[in-house]
Amino acid sequence: MKTHQTKEEIKRPKVAVVLGSGGIKAMASIGLFAFIEEANIDVDLLIGCSGGSIFAGVWAAGHTAQQMRDFTDTLWTRKLFSKIDYRSLLSIAGLPFGRFSINDGLIKPDVIQKTYRQMVGDIKLEDLPTRLLVQTTDVLSGEPVLLSSGLLWEAIYASGSLYPLMPPIEINGRLLMDGVFSSPLPVMEAINENMDVIIAMSFEEVTTQISKGFVQTLMRNIDYSHKWLLRNQNAISIDLHHYEIIFINVVFDRVVGLRSIHRIPEIRKIGDDAVQEKKEEILAAIENFR
Amino acid sequence: MKLNAKQIENAVIISIEGDLDAKNGPELAQFFKDQMEDNKNFIADFSKVEFISSAGLRVLLGTVKEARRQGGDLRLAATQKNVDKVLTISGFTRIIKIYKKLDEAIKSFSE
């Protein structure tokens, strides 16, 4: 039976979901989307940065949490990050035939870009069923750039292109790279969009494990820097916001590399557990909104 | 939420019991505001707080700014594991001084 709802009864908060950077660790966000679907929460805005932009993007394109699980099982392979650009590699050591320009990276981007395109097709940001903003950084100025239009797969690639490990991409005349360098968890961007309830998920390694090799060490140091950038931005966001921000910080006690494919089930489980702890808080924030 | 104020040495201990969120944040803010008429140093005893949301953190931030403007401070004591997690991810561990035990917080105002 349909019931008549008054204006007062249907008043609900504007809800944003913000997914931060974290590479493969961002797969832990699938559990959040499963909960959003199960609890029937209306999401007004998604914002994704780097690894987080993949899952925000795929969900915004209309895929379910279950479909995202299937994608990660089938499309996320070690091949994604295995195609080395040997000219760039040689250039690090200053060896003959080495070459590195502003458009290059250590990893060739074609397999990664093809995979993102397989996941979301050629849909544009402005045509998505759920509104999505994608956090990137301008290579030349270092300024944050928030994408709201253009091809989704290009935006996802730009947001996660950890330059100079991966080449940047030109979008709308600007050379763009990973959003982690300017806004690893774009909560302030959700505040700017006048959202009421902001669910912000971040991914963090808390470990004293010694990094293995050059790339893992570099990644660890980038991780340290982004962790503190994120916390400083979170404090400012809390001060500026008018209602509730629910932080879900997914903590990993071991290093999770870009090619830790064998750990996908574990990553998703850790994410599910982190979401479980916050379900009540999310629902209460939505319910108590006036 | 239950609130209680007790003057000890150089500070006022504000004992908080219950959850801190958008619903009861304004009540805590008003309580601190009332106490600030006569005091500038505060210790928030968090031993009976199991949960704090971002709205609760905002009250602490507003209070610490006002206390420091007056030349005093707000310090936290005896925070629980769940609250510690929130304080860490929100960057508050760099903004507010936090002590494991109430005694340590009291002593800090004598140093």
Point out the least confidently predicted range of A200-204, A215-219, B23-27: A215-219
Q: How many other CB atoms are there within 10 angstroms of residue A259's CB atom?
A: 17
| ipTM (interface pTM) | 0.90
The C-alpha of B88 sits at a distance from chain A's nearest C-alpha, in angstroms, of 8
Q: Which residues contact A140 (CB under 8 A, 6 or more apart)?
A: A174, A175
How many residues are there in chain B? 111
- Please report, rounded to a whole number, the percentage of residues in chain A having pLDDT higher than 90: 69
> By the 8 A CB rule, do A41 and A68 touch?
no
Give the per-residue pLDDT at A56: 98
Q: How many domains does chain B have?
A: 1
Return the structure tokens found at B42.
């505060």
Angle at B95 between CA B92 and CA B98, to 5 degrees: 75
Average of per-residue pLDDT across A193-212: 90
DSSP secondary structure letter of residue A180:
G
Q: Provide, as residue numbers in chain B, all residues whose Cβ is less than 8 Å from the Cβ of A281.
A: 51, 53
Point out the least confidently predicted range of A86-100, A138-152, A214-228: A86-100
The C-alpha of A235 sits at a distance from chain B's nearest C-alpha, in angstroms, of 5
Task: Tell me the whole-structure pTM to 2 decimals.
Answer: 0.91
Residue predicted with more confidence, A243 or A206: A243
Q: Provide, as residue numbers in chain A, all residues whose Cβ is less than 8 Å from the Cβ of B21.
A: 244, 284-285, 288
User: Which domain, by its residues, includes B71?
Assistant: 2-108
* Strand stretches in chain A, DSSP E: 15-19, 45-49, 132-138, 144-147, 169-171, 174-178, 197-205, 245-252
CATH of the domain at B20: 3.30.750.24
Average of per-residue pLDDT across A26-36: 97
Q: Which residue of B has its CA nearest to A227?
A: B89
Cis before A164? omega within 30: yes
SS3 B75: strand
pLDDT tens digits, B19-66: 999 999 999 999 999 999 999 999 999 999 999 999 999 999 999 999
pLDDT at A218 over 90: no
A28, amino acid identity? A
